[in-house]
Amino acid sequence: MTHPRVLLFCLMMAHVGTALAVPTVMRCGAGRPSPTAARCECPAGAEERTEGSVSMCVALSITVADGRPPGRLLWPLRRGCDVDSRAVEGGWFMMGSREGEGRPDERPRVLVEVAPFCMMTREVTARAYLECVDAQACTPPGRWAGCSVPPSTVPRTDTTYDRPISCVTQAQAAAFCAWRNMRLPTEAEWEFAARGATGARYPWGTSLNEVPCLIRRPGEERPVEYRYPGNCAANLSAFGVADMVGSLWEWTADVYVANAYATRENVLANVPVRGAAGALGVARGGSWRVVNTEYLGATVRYPVPDEPGALAGVGIRCIR
């Protein structure tokens, strides 16, 4: 069986005596299946990694496969991204959290395929969003307490307009992305851009302590680095996407379905999850406003209530 987006896809089953072995699903990428065993033969600079019934070729160093970061599936890169976007290679990854980790709606883990795409390097700013409003392609954002948009009396030349936009609904976020000839990412696309095939909890690794600029210091309105996007240089995914965790929650195209992973059947992740009428949209990443750090991470899912207090912590990042 060959999938049009997969360089090589095969399902092999081996007999041991009279017993049937567990199938091995091989996403070999630039590798190829071994003719003698259910495993991948990987190219130089990559190794086979197996988790459960899934076998994959992953890059070992940043010099492998056109400079792609380590721990990523070997896969074609998306070319021709805009100057303010980063290429996110496609591939297969295990979406969600392992048993005993994360929250119940992050389990069970599921194997998902992601096609290559371009993602904005940083979150959309208030200045950029208001340009969309000026063009009559977007509706005005909220300006209640906690919103990032300055009062209308503040001139547009003020640098406060360079803060990430917040207080926008999922529909407003989608309209902005469409105005930019882009779209909101699905949950799967967002999570893959944040953690790739490594399975790390955060874009940068395994611990919050690796990024001290995420921590709000006593007396601060917010961590100083998050008054403007990109100031926390350590908060960077391996694809070069900044501030995916700890700045603002970021809208996805999906609606919230608590057991989405248990019922997920699609093999390509660019189709948004849909639910019943009135279902809440899902945001990802975690905001500087959260009190409990368990709500920060690449796997955390947030069904966003349509109310001012919740929307004040949610922003926009688009993909193409």
Q: Residue 190 has what pLDDT?
A: 97
Q: Residue 158 has what pLDDT?
A: 94
Q: Residue 213 has what pLDDT?
A: 77
pLDDT at 7 over 80: no
Q: Quote the pTM value.
A: 0.75
Give the mean pLDDT of the chain: 77
Q: Which tops the pLDDT comparison, 69 or 165?
A: 165
Distance from the Cα of residue 158 to its chain's centroid? 31
Q: Which residues in the chain are classed under CATH 3.90.1580.10?
A: 76-315
Residue with tokens 């248990």: 262
Gap between the Cα atoms of 11 and 123, Å rounded: 40
Structure tokens at 107: 């389990």
Determine the average pLDDT of the residues in 7-28.
Answer: 32
Strongest mean pLDDT among 31-40, 75-84, 245-254, 284-293: 245-254
Q: List residues bridging with 315 in a β-sheet.
A: 250
Is the bond into 108 cis (omega within 30 degrees of 0)? yes
Confidence of residue 314 (pLDDT cuts 50, 70, 90): very high
Structure tokens at 234: 């350590």
Determine the average pLDDT of the residues in 220-239.
Answer: 70
Task: Give 219's contacts (C-beta < 8 A, 6+ positions apart).
Answer: none
Confidence of residue 78 (pLDDT cuts 50, 70, 90): very low
Confidence of residue 265 (pLDDT cuts 50, 70, 90): low
Residue with tokens 């529909």: 171
pLDDT at 200 over 70: yes
Half-sphere exposure of 65 (CA within 13 A, CB side): 26
Residues in the chain: 320
Strongest mean pLDDT among 21-30, 113-122, 220-229: 113-122
- Count of C-beta atoms within a 10 Å radius of residue 51: 13
Gap between the Cα atoms of 318 and 320, Å rounded: 7
Determine the average pLDDT of the residues in 251-273.
Answer: 81
CATH node for 76-315: 3.90.1580.10
Q: Which tops the pLDDT comparison, 289 or 37?
A: 289
What proportion of the chain, given as a percentage, has pLDDT over 70?
Answer: 68
Q: Which of 36-50, 81-95, 146-160 comes out lowest in average pLDDT?
A: 36-50
Q: Residue 74 has what pLDDT?
A: 41
Confidence of residue 157 (pLDDT cuts 50, 70, 90): very high
Q: Look at residues 273, 276, 275 and name the one whose alpha carbon lies nearest to residue 284.
A: 273
DSSP codes of every residue in 154-194? S-TTSGGGGSBP-S--HHHHHHHHHHTT-BPPPHHHHHHHH
Write the pLDDT tens digit of every residue in 112-143.
Answer: 888 899 999 999 999 999 999 999 999 999 99
Confidence of residue 25 (pLDDT cuts 50, 70, 90): very low
Confidence of residue 111 (pLDDT cuts 50, 70, 90): confident
